[in-house]
Amino acid sequence: MLSIIQAAGWPIWPLIVCSILALALILERFVALRAVRVTPPQLLQEAMSVSSSGVPSADVVAQLAQNSALGEVLASALQALNTNPRCSEADLRATVEGTGRAVAHRLEKYLTALATIASAAPLLGLLGTVIGMIEIFGAQVGAGGLGQAMGGGNPAKLAHGISVALYNTAFGLMVAIPALIFWRYFRGRVDAYLLTLELSADKFVRHLLLLRK
């Protein structure tokens, strides 16, 4: 691996940094976007059961808020009712929507950075390719003029320039393709979670409003 890095030259270092960042972001999103941390399967039913006889205590609501992203959204409705039992439907929905937007922002965290890496890595690889070609022609022309450059010139410098060009192109694609795949995967996963959060929050708000009648 070290020999490849040496053969690719200094343009490969930004790509190595991008690959490390992409790997860290992918691992972090895998941990953060687990279903148990976002939308536990039975949490909505448990929250509806706990609140069926009235708004639970502040301790129970705080425990619900710490459970998961869905728990935080559901707890915001209960906190609004604890603060103002006569809260209107519009105010209750506004509170839940505000919490939902904050949760959505956290779920989408780092996705933009991962998409940026997926877009920038091929361009960095192309930059390395261009630099390699510049080294080829610059070294050969400097050694003996354009005619000698076209005829071959220094084989060692020619081989080094070609290795810089090809290694950077290949490494740029190796970084960009997985980053793009995982960005699309996480984007789809977040969209599915947001839909579940929206539907669950709407069902829970209607449950609370029905209990007040």
Task: Give the pLDDT of residue 153.
Answer: 55
Share of the chain above pLDDT 90, in %: 60
Residue position matching structure tokens 């976002």: 38
Please give the residue that has the higher pLDDT: either 53 or 148: 53
Q: What is the pTM of this model?
A: 0.83
Instruction: For residue 32, give Cα distances in angstroms to 27, 52, 101.
Output: 9, 31, 17
pLDDT, tens only, 20-39: 999 999 999 999 999 999 99
Confidence of residue 162 (pLDDT cuts 50, 70, 90): confident
Number of structural domains in the chain: 1
Share of the chain above pLDDT 70, in %: 85
Confidence of residue 85 (pLDDT cuts 50, 70, 90): confident
**Residue 208 domain boundaries:** 2-212
Exposure string for 112-140, b = 16+ CB within 10 A, e = fewer: eebbebbebbbebbebbbebbeebbeebb
